[in-house]
Amino acid sequence: MPRVKVPCLDISGTVVATGPKAGKKVQIGDHVMAMLDFSKSGGLTEYTLVEESIVVKKPERWSFEQAASWPLVANTIWRALVNHGGIKKGDKVLINGASGGTGSVAVQLAKALGAHVVGVCSTANVRMVKDLGADEVVDYKTTDATEKYTNQDFDIVLDTATTGESFWAKRHTLLKPSGNLVLIVGSSNAMDTPFHLLYAGAQIVGKKALSLAQGGPGYHLFTTFPDGEILAKVIKVLDEDAKANPTIDSIHDFTLSSVLSAFEKSKSERAKGKIVVKIH
C-alpha cells in the first residue's frame, strides 16, 4: 500500500528530538518554524521530520499560529520582490490580491523595504490593506488598476491572485521600461495533462523571450522552495525591523470536520490572510 502524502507545507512547533548529524542551529525545546519541501510529506500531523537547514527559530512575540502562517509566503514574496523584482527603496509597487495570505505579506515586506505600495483588493478588504501599510488601495470592484495607472507608474507589478494576463497585456503602460511583472500563479489547468504542461511552459518561454526582444519590462513566473536563509532574512525585516505581524484569517482545530472546513475556506479564495490548523 502506498504511503499517504500528508498535506500542508508551513509548520511551527517545538523541537522534540534531533538526529545524530544535526548541528547546533537548534536544540531540543526550541520553538521553530519552517517551510517543508513540496516533494516530501507535509506538516498536517503531530510530528514531522525536517532538515535543520530550513528551520529558523520562531520570534518570541509571535504565537505558534502566527509563525506557522508565514514560511511559504515569506520564501515566495522575498524571491518575488527581491530576486525577481529587484526592489529598492523608493520603488513604486503594485500588488494584486493584497488582502490574501500571500498578498498581505507582500504589502508588509514591500513597505518595510522602503517602497510606495499600491494594493488591489475587493471593497470589503480595503481597510485591512490600508492598515497593513499600503499607501494607496484600489478596489477592483469599482476601479480597473490597468486603466487607472497608464503612465508607466510602477517599478514592480506583483500579481498574487491571478495568472496575470490583464497585467501582461498592459505591461508597457503600467510599468517603467526597466520594471518587472512578477507572477506566482500559473494556469489552473497547467498540470492537467502533459500537453497542458508543455503549452504552459511554451507560453512562459514565449513571454520571457518577447519581453527581452522588445526591451521593455521583465516577465517572471516562478515557484519557490524551502530556504532557511531567506526565511531568516524576512523575519529580520518584518519582525525585528518593521514589527509587523502575520495576518491570520482563521484558526481550525485538528479534527476532520474542522480541517475540511479549513480547506474549503482556502478553496473559496476569500480568506483575509492565512488559514491555520492548530494541532493540540
Q: What are 211-239's pLDDT values in tens digits?
A: 666 778 999 998 899 999 999 999 999 98
Q: Are 146 and 174 in contact (CB under 8 A)?
A: yes
Regions of the chain with pLDDT less than 70:
1-3, 186-213
- The CA distance from 1 to 83, in Å, is 42
pTM over 0.85? The answer is: yes
Q: What pLDDT sits at residue 271?
A: 85
Contacts of 129 (CB under 8 A, 6+ apart): 98, 99, 104, 107, 119, 121, 137
- The CA distance from 43 to 274, in Å, is 15
How far apart, in Å, are the Cα atoms of 84 and each of 155, 212, 218, 221, 222?
A: 12, 14, 9, 9, 9
Q: In terms of C-beta distances under 8 Å and separation of at least 24 residues, what long-range contacts does 129-137 make, across chains too?
A: 129/98, 129/99, 129/104, 132/98, 132/104, 132/107, 132/108, 132/247, 133/107, 133/108, 134/95, 134/98, 134/107, 137/98
Q: What pLDDT sits at residue 223?
A: 84
Closest CA to 105 of 86, 92, 91, 119: 119
Q: What pLDDT sits at residue 273?
A: 87
The domains of the chain are located at: 10-69+248-278, 72-221
Q: Are 219 and 181 in contact (CB under 8 A)?
A: yes
Q: What's the CATH number of domain 72-221, 3.40.50.720, 3.40.50.10680, 2.40.50.140, 3.40.50.800? A: 3.40.50.720
Q: What pLDDT sits at residue 250?
A: 95
- For domain 10-69+248-278, the CATH superfamily is Medium-chain alcohol dehydrogenases, catalytic domain (3.90.180.10)
Q: What pLDDT sits at residue 39?
A: 84
Output the CA angle 182-186-189, nearest 5 degrees. 170
Q: Are 278 and 252 in contact (CB under 8 A)?
A: yes
Q: Are 276 and 64 in contact (CB under 8 A)?
A: no
Q: What pLDDT sits at residue 187?
A: 47
Q: Are 208 and 185 in contact (CB under 8 A)?
A: no
Cell for 206? 514565449
CB atoms within 10 A of CB 152: 17
- The CA distance from 99 to 26, in Å, is 33
Residue matched to cell numbers 490593506: 129
What is the per-residue DSSP string for 12-77? EEE-----TT--SSS-TT-EEEEEPPTTS--S-SS-----GGGEEEPPTTS-HHHHHTSHHHHHHH
Beta strands at 274-278 and 248-253: parallel, antiparallel or unpaired: parallel
Q: What are 156-205's pLDDT values in tens digits?
A: 999 999 989 999 999 999 999 999 999 997 544 444 445 444 545 556 56
